[in-house]
Chain A
Amino acid sequence: NAGVMQNPRHLVRRRGQEARLRCSPMKGHSHVYWYRQLPEEGLKFMVYLQKENIIDESGMPKERFSAEFPKEGPSILRIQQVVRGDSAAYFCASSRDLTNTEAFFGQGTRLTVV
């Protein structure tokens, strides 16, 4: 049973380009969460999604960031017109349902904006 799969592991983008980060949850998991980790800091919640629904996006910046979790395929975190401050590790986690207390994290995508 594969764990949470994120790709790419490393992503380099020039300022102004778009970044697309993908997350495939664990088999049987329908809840996905995205977190951002800045250097020397803890993880900050960004967004919580279920299939085809955004449940809580209170941690998402209002501009340039969007997330989706389609009926088929991975969850996508999209950052448009990236800036240097977007450089961070982005982690995805998944859980089976709301009664399951454990969230499993992927290995993260390290985004570097040059």
Chain B
Amino acid sequence: QQQVKQSPQSLIVQKGGISIINCAYENTAFDYFPWYQQFPGKGPALLIAIRPDVSEKKEGRFTISFNKSAKQFSLHIMDSQPGDSATYFCAALTTDSWGKFQFGAGTQVVVTP
């Protein structure tokens, strides 16, 4: 059973555009929500993360929006660049089950020149 549902499965965006990836969860005990970026042949790397006490977090061109009541969170990539082409995974964690991330299925983002 997928505890974190991620959409879309794939996304094509033009250079300079905005990429938006959405995730939804059911377990209200989750209290840490990271996004990971994975390039082909590489392991996932932490991109940005948020806790449920804030509604938005921004780091450079990457923003997480968090809606606690809807149990949804999303990643926005502003001014998308070809180097952003990768697979993005959302994840969720309860910090009393440390290390046991529940990952979404991933979104393959392709940024065209």
List chain A positions with a Cβ less than 8 A from chain B. 4, 6, 31, 33, 35, 40-45, 48, 55-56, 58-59, 91, 93, 95, 98, 101-108
Contacts and interface: CB of A to CB of B under 8 A. Distances in A.
Contacts, number: 65
Given A42-B6, A42-B89, A102 B46 contact: yes
Interface of B: 4, 6, 32, 34, 36, 41-46, 49, 89, 95, 97-106
Q: Which 8 A-B pairs have the closest CB atoms?
A: A105-B43, A42-B103, A33-B99, A48-B99, A43-B103, A42-B105, A107-B43, A105-B44
B100 A56 contact: yes
Given A43-B89, A105-B43, A108-B43, A48 B106 contact: no
B43 to A, nearest CB: 4
A15 B34 CA distance: 37
9 contacts: A6-B43, A31-B98, A35-B101, A40-B105, A56-B97, A95-B98, A101-B34, A101-B49, A105-B36
Given A43-B103, A59-B100, A101-B34, 5 more contacts: A31-B98, A45-B100, A95-B99, A105-B43, A107-B43
Contacts of A6: 43
Which of B4, B34, B95, B103: most chain A Cβ within 10 A? B103
A42 B44 CA distance: 10
Contacts of B44: 43, 91, 105
Nearest to A93: B99
B72 to A, nearest CB: 17
B89 A48 contact: no
Contacts of B103: 35, 42-44
Contacts of B41: 107
A49 B100 CA distance: 11
B99 A4 contact: no
Given A42-B104, A101-B32, A107-B41, A56 B99 contact: yes
B102 A45 contact: yes
A98 B95 CA distance: 8
